């Protein structure tokens, strides 16, 4: 029993009103439809597609959950594609939920209030945690023979006086309600379902409270009692929303870039990549860089969602500890001591950062990095991040990463034109091949045409829905480069062409000729520069004294690259021009 992804629900409230300042700051902008080519089913492998079954629907009645004797029943919503991750979180020792079963866009589970509190505190990938308070079949004799089954179900579902009336003074808690309707013969419109449910609650309160009505809340997630009604094939389920505000709003971010990745999805990707395997085991089985250290890199980090979430995981900081308030704190059955105990346990569970932990981030836009720094500071993880403001084609990571997670722009979020994005993906592909040797790379993309510009073959694909867009999480393993050696005549040693080509590319970045012409290091081509480096060293070593070191020859080759004019020729002619230039200086 559950509910469809709450993050994508229409914001329909029983009352109108503008959200509070906190929720305005956390609000995500709506995303525009893309003119680019989305992922098609034939772009995906068979492992990423599955046929939907009735029992997988979030509103299917699960007998397994129904039989949880004496236990509360919950449903944790999530982005489609992250159900297994959320289920693993709920089974982990930090939460310890029972009767965990995945559905569509969420996971069913049962337990006590302690379990529900822990799910809100510790789940990094869920969107909301809902607690079931009533369920019924609208076609049963109790409701099917009455004029308005939905109205009567809601009115008789619970003792509304107990839920809504606060204290002995008769003050009423504010409430709001959302609904979703699938294939229901009684109601076909979510707004109609919301209106009937609201009228039923107000009429029930009028009957027991002398005509009093609660004050309207500012918004759904600002209400004291946020409710959710689901109607699926004449099965009615009524929930209390424990989370109120979506759980991806951790509390450390009050402003964001328009293309920022949802924190819950970022945490889900990191978990699938095996980054959080110490606390949520069972993922990252496809990784090939096992035991390669704890170095995470995001070459297009934006406002740093991957990096901050990775830091919170490394320190085992419960994301719910960063949030300022919860709606269940105003409920009649709220156990304050139990909540304090859960928070105390979560605080004591924090660990120190591993010695080999390094979180590397780079982005072209300085404003995004300023947001990243500010948010990391508010989350208490600023000291773990190493940020750089460079174009991806110029960024040189200080160390080789063991894991790369990147969410490059894919048009839908930024409304960019396809030609510029194609160049971006080509540059990203070159960067990954050059600086991510022996690393496991996870790329989130919403466009198959752009993904092909990486010119790499994915080992594995997983479908994930991001903001209503059909995306793929792609796994690559970057093989080490093939190192060809050149016999250095006169010195008796060998010089790595790959290492020399790297030095030449680094020199070209600082050359006034290259930069004035707008030529990037990647435009030279690793192979072309490598061949030229081999040619340069094999010839220069014959006339150089045997005592010359490899470093001195590398400096000489760098000098060649820095003095070369900007290339306007294809690679073969470029090599000829480079060789001629080197000879004119007397280095060949």
pLDDT of residue 351 exceeding 50: yes
How far is Cα 585 from Cα 588, in angstroms, rounded to an integer?
8
Report which DSSP code applies to 327.
G
pLDDT of residue 236 exceeding 50: yes
Q: How does the average pLDDT of the chain come out, rounded?
A: 75
Judge contact between 389 and 364, C-beta under 8 A: yes
pLDDT of residue 127 exceeding 90: yes
Percent of the chain residues past pLDDT 70, beyond the cut: 64
Give the C-alpha distances (Å, rounded to integers) separating 290 from 265, 273, 278, 440, 461. 24, 12, 14, 9, 20
How far is Cα 249 from Cα 266, in angstroms, rounded to an integer?
12
Mean pLDDT of 409-428: 76
Q: What is the pLDDT of residues 268-298, one digit of tens each?
A: 999 999 999 999 999 988 898 877 679 999 9
What domains does the chain contain, in order, with CATH numbers? Answer: 72-241 (3.30.2130.30), 263-317+350-478 (3.40.50.150)
How far is Cα 105 from Cα 232, in angstroms, rounded to an integer?
15
In this prediction, residue 506 has a pLDDT band, given cuts at 50, 70 and 90, of very low
Q: What is the pLDDT of residue 24?
A: 40
What order of strands is seen across the sheet that includes strand 460-466? 385-388, 357-362, 294-298, 403-406, 440-445, 469-477, 460-466
Mean pLDDT of 437-458: 93
Q: What is the pLDDT of residue 90?
A: 98
Q: How many residues does the chain have?
A: 588
Q: What is the pLDDT of residue 580?
A: 53
pLDDT of residue 129 exceeding 90: yes
Angular region, 411: left φ>0, alpha ψ -120 to 50, beta rest: left
Mean pLDDT of 291-315: 93
H or E element: which one contains 132? Answer: strand 128-137
Helices assigned H by DSSP within 403-447: 418-435
What residues contact 141, with CB distance under 8 A and at least 6 apart?
Answer: none
Report which DSSP code applies to 173.
P
pLDDT of residue 359 exceeding 80: yes
pLDDT of residue 498 exceeding 60: no
Q: What is the pLDDT of residue 283?
A: 92
Q: Which of 46-60, 165-179, 351-365, 409-423 is predicted least confidently? A: 46-60
pLDDT of residue 83 exceeding 50: yes
In this prediction, residue 240 has a pLDDT band, given cuts at 50, 70 and 90, of very high
Strands (E) located in 401-467:
403-406, 440-445, 460-466
Q: Which of 205-209, 387-391, 462-466, 571-575 is predicted least confidently? A: 571-575
523: tokens are: 């435009």
449: tokens are: 């045409």
Percent of the chain residues past pLDDT 90, beyond the cut: 46
- The bridge status of strand 106-111 relative to strand 72-77 is antiparallel
Identify which has the larger pLDDT, 304 or 5.
Answer: 304
Q: What is the pLDDT of residues 516-527, one digit of tens each?
A: 334 444 444 443
Mean pLDDT of 102-112: 93
C-alpha atoms less than 13 angstroms from C-alpha of 247 in its C-beta half-sphere: 33
Q: What is the pLDDT of residue 69?
A: 60
Judge contact between 501 and 469, C-beta under 8 A: no
Q: What is the pLDDT of residue 337?
A: 96
- DSSP string of 490-528, one letter each residue: TT--EEEHHHHHHHHHHHHHH-HHHHHHT--HHHH-HHH
Angular region, 438: left φ>0, alpha ψ -120 to 50, beta rest: left
Identify which has the larger pLDDT, 349 or 288.
Answer: 349
pLDDT of residue 10 exceeding 70: no
Judge contact between 328 and 245, C-beta under 8 A: no
For 574, other C-beta atoms within 10 Å of its C-beta total: 18
Mean pLDDT of 433-443: 94
Q: What is the pLDDT of residue 575?
A: 54
H or E element: which one contains 109? Answer: strand 106-111
Mean pLDDT of 122-128: 97
Q: Collapse the DSSP code of 119 into the 3-class scheme (helix H, G, I; strand E, B; otherwise coil) and give the result.
A: helix
How far is Cα 566 from Cα 578, in angstroms, rounded to an integer?
10
In this prediction, residue 540 has a pLDDT band, given cuts at 50, 70 and 90, of very low
In this prediction, residue 144 has a pLDDT band, given cuts at 50, 70 and 90, of low
Residue in the structure block whose two tokens are 């096992």: 290
In this prediction, residue 147 has a pLDDT band, given cuts at 50, 70 and 90, of confident
Among 546, 549, 533, smallest CA distance to 588 is for: 533
Q: Collapse the DSSP code of 384 into the 3-class scheme (helix H, G, I; strand E, B; otherwise coil) and give the result.
A: helix
Strand partners, 404: 297, 441
pLDDT of residue 126 exceeding 90: yes
Q: What is the pLDDT of residues 457-482, one digit of tens each?
A: 999 999 999 988 899 999 999 888 76
Among 387, 345, 301, 401, smallest CA distance to 115 is for: 345
Q: What is the pLDDT of residue 186?
A: 75
Instruction: Find which of 19-23, 46-50, 397-401 is predicted with most confidence, using mean pLDDT.
Output: 397-401
Judge contact between 101 and 296, C-beta under 8 A: no
What residues contact 458, with CB distance under 8 A and at least 6 apart?
Answer: 474, 475, 476
pLDDT of residue 137 exceeding 90: no
Dmax over CA atoms of the chain, in Å, equals: 104
Residue in the structure block whose two tokens are 């306007």: 568
pLDDT of residue 66 exceeding 60: no
Judge contact between 346 and 320, C-beta under 8 A: yes
Q: What is the pLDDT of residue 502?
A: 41
How far is Cα 302 from Cα 191, in angstroms, rounded to an integer?
37
Q: Which of 63-77, 138-152, 198-212, 337-351 is predicted least confidently? A: 63-77
Number of helices and strands in the chain (H, E): 20, 18
Helices assigned H by DSSP within 3-82: 21-26, 63-66
Mean pLDDT of 176-182: 87
Measure CA of the first residue to CA of the last residue in the chain; give whole Å.
76
């Amino acid at each position: 029993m559950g509910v469809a992804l709450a993050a994508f629900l229409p914001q329909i409230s029983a009352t109108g009103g503008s959200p509070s300042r906190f929720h305005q700051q956390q609000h995500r902008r709506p995303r525009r439809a893309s003119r680019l080519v989305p992922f098609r089913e034939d772009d995906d492998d068979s492992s990423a597609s599955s046929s939907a079954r009735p029992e997988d629907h979030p509103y299917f009645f699960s007998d397994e959950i129904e039989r949880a004797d004496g236990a509360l029943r919950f449903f944790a919503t999530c982005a489609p594609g992250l159900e297994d991750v959320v289920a693993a979180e709920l089974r982990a020792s930090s939460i310890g939920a029972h009767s965990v079963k995945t559905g569509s866009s969420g996971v069913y589970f049962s337990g006590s209030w302690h379990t529900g509190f822990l799910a809100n505190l510790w789940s990094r990938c869920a969107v909301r945690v809902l607690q079931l308070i009533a369920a019924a079949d609208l076609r049963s004799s109790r409701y099917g023979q009455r004029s308005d089954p939905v109205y009567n179900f809601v009115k008789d579902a619970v003792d509304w006086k107990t839920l809504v009336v606060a204290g002995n003074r008769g003050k009423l808690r504010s409430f709001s309600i959302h609904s979703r309707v699938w294939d229901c013969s009684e109601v076909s419109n979510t707004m109609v379902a919301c209106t009937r449910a609201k009228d039923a609650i107000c009429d029930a309160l009028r009957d027991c409270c002398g005509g009093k009505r609660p004050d309207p809340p500012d918004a759904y997630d600002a209400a004291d009692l946020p409710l959710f009604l689901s109607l699926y094939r004449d099965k009615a389920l009524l929930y209390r929303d424990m989370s109120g505000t979506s759980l991806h709003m951790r509390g450390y971010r009050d402003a964001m870039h328009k293309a920022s990745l949802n924190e819950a999805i970022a945490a889900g990707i990191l978990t699938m990549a095996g980054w959080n395997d110490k606390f949520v085991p069972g993922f990252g089985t496809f990784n090939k860089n096992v035991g390669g250290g704890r170095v995470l890199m995001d070459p297009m980090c934006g406002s740093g969602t991957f990096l901050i979430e990775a830091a919170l995981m490394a320190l085992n900081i419960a994301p719910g500890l960063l949030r300022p308030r919860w709606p269940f704190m105003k409920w009649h059955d709220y156990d304050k001591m139990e909540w304090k105990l859960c928070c105390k346990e979560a605080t004591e569970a924090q660990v120190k950062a591993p010695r080999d932990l390094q979180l590397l981030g780079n982005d072209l836009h300085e404003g995004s990095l300023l947001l990243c720094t500010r948010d990391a500071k508010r989350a208490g993880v600023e000291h773990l991040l190493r940020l750089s403001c460079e174009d991806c084609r110029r960024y040189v990571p200080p160390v080789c990463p063991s894991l790369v997670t990147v969410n490059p722009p894919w048009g839908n979020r930024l409304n960019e034109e396809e030609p510029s994005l194609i160049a971006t993906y080509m540059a990203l592909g070159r960067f990954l091949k050059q600086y991510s040797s022996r690393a496991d790379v996870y790329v989130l993309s919403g466009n198959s045409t752009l993904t092909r510009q990486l010119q790499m073959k994915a080992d594995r694909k997983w479908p994930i829905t991001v903001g209503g867009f059909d995306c793929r999480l792609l796994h690559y393993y970057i093989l080490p480069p093939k190192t060809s050696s050149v016999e250095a005549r006169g010195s008796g040693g060998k010089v790595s062409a790959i290492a020399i080509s790297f030095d030449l590319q680094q020199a070209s970045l600082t050359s006034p000729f290259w930069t004035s012409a707008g030529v990037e290091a990647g435009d030279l081509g690793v192979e072309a520069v490598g061949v030229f480096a081999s040619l340069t060293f094999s010839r220069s070593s014959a006339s150089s004294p045997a005592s010359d070191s490899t470093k001195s020859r590398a400096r000489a080759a760098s000098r060649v690259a820095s003095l070369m004019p900007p290339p306007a020729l294809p690679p073969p002619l470029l090599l000829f021009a480079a060789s001629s230039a080197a000879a004119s200086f007397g280095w060949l």
